[in-house]
Amino acid sequence: MSLSSLRLLNNYSTISKAMVCEKHGQPKDVLRLKEIKISKIKDDEVLVKFLASPINPSDINQIEGVYPIKPRFKEYGAVGGNEGVAEVIAAGSKVKNLTVGDWVIPDTKAFGTWQTYATSPENELQKISKNGISSISAATISVNPPTAYRMLKDFVNLKKGDVVIQNGANSAVGQSVIQIAKAWGIKTINVVRDRPNFDELASELHKLGATLVIKEEDLRANSTRELVKSLGSPVRLALNCVGGKSASGITRLLGHNATIVTYGGMSKQPLTFGTGPFIFKNLRACGYWNSRWNKEASKKDKQYMFDDICELIRGGHLAEPWHDETKWEVSDDNKTLNKKFMEALSKAGKSFGNKKQILTFE
């Protein structure tokens, strides 16, 4: 333990600058920058300094109160943000598995990651092997890569050469799906809505490893069916984060005994399936919620997965998600910090935005 962290541990009055809400509401209305006095860590706790934290759509829904997981309200309110990476800068005497300098991500719901410092029991954190990993990658490793990883692994026993179809392929999860599938030798059919810069987007997705990129508007075309056939294997897994017609469209391209996994509903339209495909093609529809997996999985399973994902990152298979960075600098006054956050928040709130908004802390 370094001298500076010892000092912090024994005699400090660290102030965390945090985006806090005192009640549910539109984040832009209820969130504001607050200074929170960090209390001295207990024996089983660590003090961490955040390095980077994204603003995810579910963070926003959580503050609105429309998400099944609620913020952790304390006397000063609730700090927003569920994902992020922090560095351990002090550890209590009974902390076993973490040491100063380790990188950690939250391993509990509603941690509150939009802040500069926090204390936490060590069992509510997950260690990330930081060697060769950027803070941007680490800050975005908790939700999207695991969602892609688990959906590709847990529903269908995929083999090399098998084919997966997904809509919302340009989403952060979509990008992870393309890259992890590519690393595992699985072909991906990637559906995105038409847009003025479609060719550019398709080219970006191909660079990530996409096998095919298809416009949602072309899902029902015969040419699409032929293209899918040309891959030589039936589509065994569909990943849906859109719902409505898009979900029906990708379902139509599935082979026998395929599974469609829903993990989002961006169109706000329900899922509609024909009765016939369920009965005669033996389709199966399920949902995936990363928070449930997190809650139910063992520490060992989580460590295994994150080690595996870190290996993919180190091996160059899984790039940082497309993002904008918002830097909180030490020299910024509180008004500036608040303003910077609100600008990033407003960009994060735009649906179907391709770029993740990430707050980084000097």
60 forms part of the interface with a copy of itself (CB under 8 A) = no
Contacts of 100 (CB under 8 A, 6+ apart): 1, 2, 5, 88, 89, 90, 91
Contact 54, 84 (CB under 8 A): yes
277 forms part of the interface with a copy of itself (CB under 8 A) = yes
Total binding residues for a copy of itself by CB under 8 A?
Answer: 27
Return the residues of window 62-91 that contact a copy of itself according to CB under 8 A: 68
289 forms part of the interface with a copy of itself (CB under 8 A) = yes
Look at residues 108, 123, 128, 151 and name the one whose alpha carbon lies nearest to residue 52. 128
Closer of 232 and 270 to a copy of itself (Cβ): 270
Neighbours of 29 (CB within 10 A): 10
**C-alpha span between 96 and 43 (Å, rounded):** 10
286 forms part of the interface with a copy of itself (CB under 8 A) = yes
CA-angle at 180, arms to 178 and 181, nearest 5°: 65
321 forms part of the interface with a copy of itself (CB under 8 A) = no
Q: Shortest gap between Cβ of 63 and a copy of itself (angstroms)?
A: 18
Token duo for residue 63: 């503050």
- 90, 173, 210, 228, 282 from 163: Cα distances, Å: 47, 17, 11, 9, 17
To the query of whether residue 67 is one of the catalytic residues in this protein, the response is: yes
Among residues 37, 93, 131, 279, which is the contact residue for a copy of itself, using CB under 8 A?
279
Among residues 227, 285, 297, 342, which is the contact residue for a copy of itself, using CB under 8 A?
285
Among residues 264, 310, 348, 354, which is the contact residue for a copy of itself, using CB under 8 A?
264
Pairing of strands 187-192, 323-328: unpaired
Torsion sign over Cα 285, 291, 293, 296? negative
Q: Shortest gap between Cβ of 276 and a copy of itself (angstroms)?
A: 7
Closer of 57 and 277 to a copy of itself (Cβ): 277
Closer of 50 and 288 to a copy of itself (Cβ): 288
Q: Shortest gap between Cβ of 110 and a copy of itself (angstroms)?
A: 15
Q: Shortest gap between Cβ of 338 and a copy of itself (angstroms)?
A: 32
Q: Which amino acid is present at 244?
A: G
Catalytic site positions: 67
Where does this chain bind a copy of itself (CB under 8 A)?
A: 68, 243, 262-265, 270-289, 292
